Amino acid sequence: MTNTSPKHTEPLERTLYEQSVAGRRAITLPKADVPDAPLPDAQLRADNGLPELSESQIVRHYLRLSQMNFGVDSGFYPLGSCTMKHNPKINEQLARLPGFASIHPLQDAATVQGALEIMHGLQEALKEIGGFAAASLQPVAGAQGELTALLMIRACHADRGQAHRDRILVPDTAHGTNPASARMAGFLAVEIPSDARGNVDIDAVRAACDDRLAGIMLTNPNTLGLFEERIGDIVELVHAAGGFVYGDGANMNALTAVVRPGELGIDVMHFNLHKTFATPHGGGGPGSGPLGAGARLAEYLPGPVVEHDPAADPRYRFARPERSIGRMTAFHGNFGMLVRAFAYIRALGAAGLRTNAADAVLNANYLRGRLKSEYPVPFDRLCMHEFVSEGRPEGSSARAIDISKRLMDFGFHPPTNYFPLIVREALMIEPTETETKETLDAFAEAMLQIAAEARDAPEKLREAPHATPVSRLDEVKAARERIVTDRAARGSDGEIG
Amino acid sequence: MGGKIGLKGTDGLADEAVRLGATPIAADRALASLKPLKALISGRRMERDLDWVTCSGAMGGDALRITSFESIEIVHQASSPTTVDDTVQAVQSFLEAGVDLILFCGGDGTARDIATATAKTVPILGIPSGVKMYSGVFGITPERVAKVVFAFLEGRVQAAEADLLDLDEERYRCGEWVIRPVGSALTPFEPTLTQTAKAFAVEASEAQAKAEIADDLRDQISACRDTVFLFGPGTTVQSVAEHVGVEKTLLGIDAFLNGRLVERDLNERAILRLLGDKKNAVLVLSPIGAQGFVLGRGNLQLSPEVIRRIGTGNIVVVATPAKLQRTPVLHFDTGDAALDRELGRNGYLSVVIGYHLRRMVPVG
C-alpha cells in the first residue's frame, strides 16, 4: 500500500530483504554427518535471493509488525457481520493438546477414537442447536458451506427428475458470497429486493417462484441485523413452488439456543464456527463452516461424517451419507477449529449460549439507541446482533469512510462500511456479547465526538487517522496496483518501486 | 408520430413520416388522459371550477369536446398542417389567459418549444406521445398524467423544476446517441407518476457488466438454435451485442439468426414479415436509464402486435447494476393497456444483470 501522508518519508519498518547483509546468519547448522550429495548444476542458483539476517533482527521485525496490527485481543472490533467476539484462551490450550495436535488424518480411526468422539459430539451439538436431522463438518469456510448446500440442493433436484430447476433467489442484502456460490454451483442467481421494513420483499419472492425455482438463500437475521419478519411465509412460498430454503448461518450468534432454524423450515444451513462459536477469525483462522440439514436433504450431506455405535468396535467410525455429494475437502475439515468450537459449546451449555445470544442482541440495541440521533438508522426497529446506520451525521459532509478512519484514533477497529449496499454510507456495527458496558460507552462517546467534529472540524476526519502507525492509505491505488512481493516492489532493477 | 415506422424523431421529417405510413397518435393519447381525468373530477367541485383554454381542432379542442368537458375556450386557431409556430403562439395565448398548468401532447421537441415560451412562469406537463421522451416533464403513461393533473388540482402536488433533455436528431439518425440537456421547466412533480429525466452518466464498471451480460446471452443464443434474436435500440444492447460478437445499429432493431445478421433496422412491418407464422423469436431490450421504460419509448417499432407475435415470455431485459440503481422501477407503455398489464403481471420483471445473475425489478 502507498502511504499518502507526508509525515512518513521513511518506511516504518524495513522489509527483511532491505535489512539483509551478505553473510549474516541467524543460526549455525551443525556439520553434516552424512556425505555431501550435491544438487545437479542445472538446479543450482548463484543467488537464491533470500535475506541474510541475525536472529534478533528477525524477532524484532516480526514483533514490531505485530505491534502495528489490530485484533480482537488488542481492542474493540465491531466489524458488522463478522462476529469478532473474544476467543477464549482455554480453547487454544485444548486444541494444542498433543492428542489433538499430533495425530495424522490418515491414522486408522480405531487409534483416534477421542478425536472422532469430539467430532461426533460437535455434529450432535450443531444438530441440536440448528434443529436439524444431520450435520457434516466437512466445509472449511462459510462460503464453502454455502456452495456445499447448493450442490446438495442441485443433487436432490436432479434425483427427483427436476434438473431443470436452475434459479436460486438471493436477497439484495445477502453477503456477496451468496450469489457467487449460486453461480459456482451452476445456478442462476436471482436478486430479490428488500421492502421498506428491511425484510425480503415477499411479493418479489412470489413473482420469482416458478417451475425453475431451485431454492432461496436466506440470512436470518439479515445483514441489516433484522429478524426476517415473514420468514414463515417465505419458507411456505418456496416449498410450495418446489424449492429448498438454504440458511446462511453467518448471523447465527443472535439466535443460538433461542431459535432453531430447522424448525422454521430451513432445509440446510451452514454454521460459522469462527463467528458464532468463537474460534479464531481472519488472519488467526482458518475458518470452518459445518452444515446442518433437515430430513429432506440429510442424505446428501458431504462425507465422511462420524457415526457412533456404542455396541461396535471401534465405537466411532467415518461413514458416508447415502446420497452424499462426496467430499468438499481432503480429510476431515479444520480439525483444530472443531476442537475449539466443541470446547466452547460444552463450556457454555444451552443456558450459556442463550445468554450470549441475548447479550449480543442487548449490546447491539444499546449502541443503536445511543448512536441513532447522530447516525440515522434507516430501518429503525429492534435489531438483533447488529445494526446498520448511515455514516453521515446531519449537517456535515462526512462520509462513512471518514468516520471509520477517525475511529482508529480512538483505538477502535472501524465497523464494516459500505455494506449492505442498500444503505447509503452504511456503517454496520456488531458489538458482540463479549464487550463490557464501559467499552460500549467509550465507543459511543467516540462516535458522538466524531459526529461533532464532522460538523465543527471536518478536516480532522478527512485527514484521519492521526494516531496510527501509518495515516490514511490510498486504498484505490493499493487495490489497483497490487505489489505483494519484495521482488515486485523492487522492480526489475532491484530498486524499490 | 413516426415511432412504429422506425423514424428516430420527426423534427423536420413530418412529411416523410406521413409518406411512410405514420399516423399521428397524439389524439388517442390525449383522450387516454382526458377520459380518466374527467372520471376523476366528475361530481367534484373542481369539475365546475375547471376552465380549459385550448387550440382548435386536433390541437386540443376536438379531444376536450369528445371528453365532454364543459368550459372550453379556443384561444388559438391552429393552421393545417400544424407547425412549431402554432405551438409557440398557442402558449403565448395560454399565458395571456393566465393558465395554471399547460398540458400538452408530444415528445421532447414539443416540450422544449413550450418550455422556451413559458420560461418557467407556468408548470407544463406532457402526455407522452412522441418518439423521444427523455425529459422529466412527462407523465409515465397517459393514464397517470390524469392522476397527476387531478393531484395538482387538489393541491397535493407542487410544481418542481425538471430537466429538459433532447437527442440531437441529426446525429441520432446517423446512429449516434447524443442526449443533451437543453434547459429546465416547471412541472407538477410526483415521482411515481412523472418520469424522471433519463440519466446519461456512464460508469467505469459498465463495460465489465455488459461483457458478463453478453456471456449470459451467448449461452441463451446457443441454447436456442433457429430462434430469431431481435436486439432492441440503445447503448446497453449495442455494447452487449458487440460482446456477443455481432455488429448492431445503435438505434434500430436488428435481427440475428444463429449468430448471423439477418436484417438491420427493422420497422413494425418488417419484423412481422420476418417472423411470419412459424419462427420463434427472442427480443432483447434494455430499459431507458432512470425513466425505466422497457417498451413505449424509443422503440415504437415494437408495436403491441409485434410483442404479441414474439410472446411476452420471450422478452429478455438486460441492464447493468449501475443502470438499475438509477432506474428503480420499470414501465411498459405499448399503447395497449391490456398488453402492458400482461407484461407486468407479476409486479416484477427478471432482469439480466450479469452472467447467470438476475434481479427482480418492480414494474410500475
Cell numbers for A53, please give them.
Answer: 539476517
CA distance A189 to chain B (A): 5
Q: Around Cβ B308, how many Cβ atoms within 10 Å?
A: 13
**What pLDDT, on a 0 to 100 scale, did the predictor assign at position B196?**
53
Q: What is the CA radius of gyration of chain B?
A: 21
> B8 pLDDT exceeds 60?
no
Distance CA B201, CA A134 (A): 52
Q: Which residues of A touch B346 (CB under 8 A)?
A: 206-207
SS3 label, residue B243: helix
Read off the CATH number of the domain in which A361 is found.
3.90.1150.10
Closest CA to A291 of A254, A331, A257, A262: A262
Q: What is the CA radius of gyration of chain A?
A: 26
**What pLDDT, on a 0 to 100 scale, did the predictor assign at position B318?**
96
Instruction: State the DSSP code for A191.
Output: E
CB A474 within 8 A of CB A4: yes
Q: Is residue B7 part of a domain?
A: no
**What pLDDT, on a 0 to 100 scale, did the predictor assign at position B337?**
92
Rounded to 5 degrees, what are φ and ψ at A344? -60, -45
Cell numbers for B208, please give them.
Answer: 465489465
Residues B71 and B134 in one domain: yes
Say yes or no: A188 contacts chain B, CB-CB below 8 A.
yes
Cell 419484423 sits at which residue?
B271
Mutate to test the interface with A, among B216, B355, B359 (most CBs of A within 10 A): B359
Q: How many domains does chain A have?
A: 2
Residues B165 and B52 in one domain: yes
Kindly list the distances between the CA atom of residue A245 and the CA atoms of A163, B65, B127, in Å, as whole numbers in the listed order.
17, 59, 46
**What pLDDT, on a 0 to 100 scale, did the predictor assign at position A2?**
38
Say yes or no: A192 contacts chain B, CB-CB below 8 A.
yes
Q: Is residue A371 part of a domain?
A: yes
B360 falls in which pLDDT band (50, 70, 90)?
very high
CB under 8 Å to B181, separation ≥6 — which residues?
B163, B164, B165
How many angstroms from the chain centroid is the CA of residue B143? 14
The model carries a pTM of 0.74
> B340 pLDDT exceeds 90?
yes
Ranking B76-80, B203-207, B274-278, B302-306 by mean pLDDT, the lowest is B203-207
Residues A343 and A427 in one domain: no
DSSP A214-225: EEEEEESS-TTS
Cell 486408522 sits at which residue?
A108
Read off the CATH number of the domain in which B53 is found.
3.40.50
Q: Which residues of A touch B362 (CB under 8 A)?
A: 193, 204
Q: Is residue A146 part of a domain?
A: yes
Looking at chain A, how many residues does it have? 497
How many angstroms from the chain centroid is the CA of residue B213? 24
Distance CA A201, CA A209 (A): 13
Residues B170 and B225 in one domain: no
Q: Is residue A269 part of a domain?
A: yes
Residues A283 and A364 in one domain: no
Decide which of A302, A317, A347 is a domain's last residue: A347
Show the beta-strand stretches assigned E in chain B: 52-55, 72-76, 102-106, 124-128, 159-167, 179-188, 227-231, 254-257, 260-263, 280-285, 293-295, 315-318, 331-332, 348-354, 357-362
Decide which of A292, A323, A347 is a domain's last residue: A347
Q: Is residue A113 part of a domain?
A: yes
Find the farthest-apart pair of alpha carbons in chain A and give their distance in angstroms, rounded: 78
Residues A337 and A361 in one domain: no
CB under 8 Å to B245, separation ≥6 — which residues?
B218, B259
**What pLDDT, on a 0 to 100 scale, did the predictor assign at position B6?**
52
Amino acid at A226: L
Helix (H) or strand (E) holding B163: strand B159-167
Measured over the CA atoms of residue A142, residue A148, residue A154 and residue A157, the dihedral's sign is negative
Rounded to 5 degrees, what are φ and ψ at B354? -175, -175
| Domain of B322, in residue numbers | 206-362
Q: Which residues of A touch B358 (CB under 8 A)?
A: 167, 188-191
Q: Is residue B244 part of a domain?
A: yes
Amino acid at B132: K
Mutate to test the interface with B, among A169, A187, A191, A209 (most CBs of B within 10 A): A191
CB B310 within 8 A of CB B230: yes
Q: Which residue of B has its CA nearest to A178?
A: B357
Distance CA A417, CA A399 (A): 10
Burial of B15 (0-12, 13-18, 19+ CB in 10 A): exposed
Residues B234 and B275 in one domain: yes
Distance CA A314, CA A148 (A): 29
What is the pLDDT of chain B when averaged over all its residues? Answer: 84
CB A211 within 8 A of CB A165: yes
- CB under 8 Å, gap of 24 or more: what pairs does B77-85 form? B81/B14, B82/B58, B84/B113
Q: Is residue B294 part of a domain?
A: yes
Q: Which residue of A has its CA nearest to B347?
A: A207
Question: What's the complex ipTM?
Answer: 0.78
SS3 label, residue B159: strand
Cell 433496422 sits at which residue?
B265
Higher pLDDT, A398 or B190: A398
Q: Is residue B295 part of a domain?
A: yes
Strands A316-319 and A305-308: antiparallel
Q: Which residues of B touch A207 (CB under 8 A)?
A: 346-348, 360
In chain B, the N- to C-terminal Cα span, in Å, equals 25
Measured over the CA atoms of residue A80, residue A85, residue A91 and residue A93, the dihedral's sign is positive
Amino acid at B4: K
Residues A278 and A356 in one domain: no
Q: Which residues of B touch A193 (CB under 8 A)?
A: 359-362
B194 falls in which pLDDT band (50, 70, 90)?
low
B14 falls in which pLDDT band (50, 70, 90)?
low
Residues A217 and A204 in one domain: yes
Q: How open is the CA angle A167-A418-B286, to the nearest 5 degrees?
A: 45
Closest CA to B347 of A209, A441, A363, A206: A206
Say yes or no: A234 contacts chain B, CB-CB below 8 A.
no
Amino acid at A44: L
CB under 8 Å to A89, separation ≥6 — which residues?
none
Q: Which of residues 222-251 of B touch A (CB under 8 A)?
A: none
Distance CA B122, CA B115 (A): 9
Cell numbers for B277, please give them.
Answer: 407464422
Residues B172 and B302 in one domain: no
Q: Is residue A335 part of a domain?
A: yes
Higher pLDDT, B26 or A45: A45
Residues A174 and A207 in one domain: yes
Q: What is the pLDDT along chain A (497 residues), one digit of tens a residue?
A: 334 444 445 678 899 999 999 999 998 889 999 998 888 988 888 877 889 999 999 999 999 999 988 999 999 999 999 999 999 999 999 999 999 999 999 999 999 999 999 999 999 999 999 999 999 999 999 999 999 999 999 999 999 999 999 999 999 999 999 999 999 999 999 999 999 999 999 999 999 999 999 999 999 999 999 999 999 999 999 999 999 999 999 999 999 999 999 999 999 999 999 999 999 986 667 899 999 999 999 999 999 999 999 999 999 999 999 999 999 998 998 999 999 999 999 999 999 999 999 999 999 999 999 999 999 999 999 999 999 999 999 889 899 999 999 999 999 999 999 888 889 899 999 999 999 999 999 999 999 999 999 999 999 999 999 999 888 887 777 777 778 887 777 765 444 43
Cell 474460534 sits at which residue?
A279
Strands B357-362 and B348-354: antiparallel
CB B105 within 8 A of CB B131: no
CB B7 within 8 A of CB B109: no
Q: Is residue A339 part of a domain?
A: yes
Mutate to test the interface with B, among A190, A234, A423 (most CBs of B within 10 A): A190
CB B144 within 8 A of CB B135: no
Q: Which residue of B has its CA nearest to A191?
A: B359
List the beta bridge partners of residue B261: B256
Residues A331 and A222 in one domain: yes
CB A103 within 8 A of CB A331: no
Distance CA B286, CA B137 (A): 22
Closest CA to A148 of A249, A283, A284, A282: A249
Residues B184 and B232 in one domain: no
Residues B169 and B210 in one domain: no
Q: How many domains does chain B have?
A: 2
Distance CA A142, CA A397 (A): 37
Residues A285 and A377 in one domain: no
Cell numbers for A15, please give them.
Answer: 522489509
Residues B167 and B307 in one domain: no
CB contact under 8 A, B347 and A207: yes
Residues B255 and B313 in one domain: yes
Distance CA A447, CA A451 (A): 6
Residues B123 and B167 in one domain: yes
CA distance A272 to chain B (A): 26
Residues B333 and B244 in one domain: yes
Higher pLDDT, B270 or B140: B270
Residues A427 and A298 in one domain: no
Distance CA A223, CA A219 (A): 7
SS3 label, residue A475: helix
Output the CA torsion A44→A47→A50→A56 (10° steps): 120
Residues A152 and A184 in one domain: yes
Amino acid at A472: R
Decide which of B188, B217, B246 is a domain's last residue: B188
Residues A173 and A270 in one domain: yes
| Domain of A227, in residue numbers | 90-347
How many angstroms from the chain centroid is the CA of residue A346? 22
Q: Is residue B6 part of a domain?
A: no
Residues A364 and A311 in one domain: no
Cis amide leading into B24 (omega within 30):
no
Residues B227 and B80 in one domain: no
Burial of A22 (0-12, 13-18, 19+ CB in 10 A): exposed
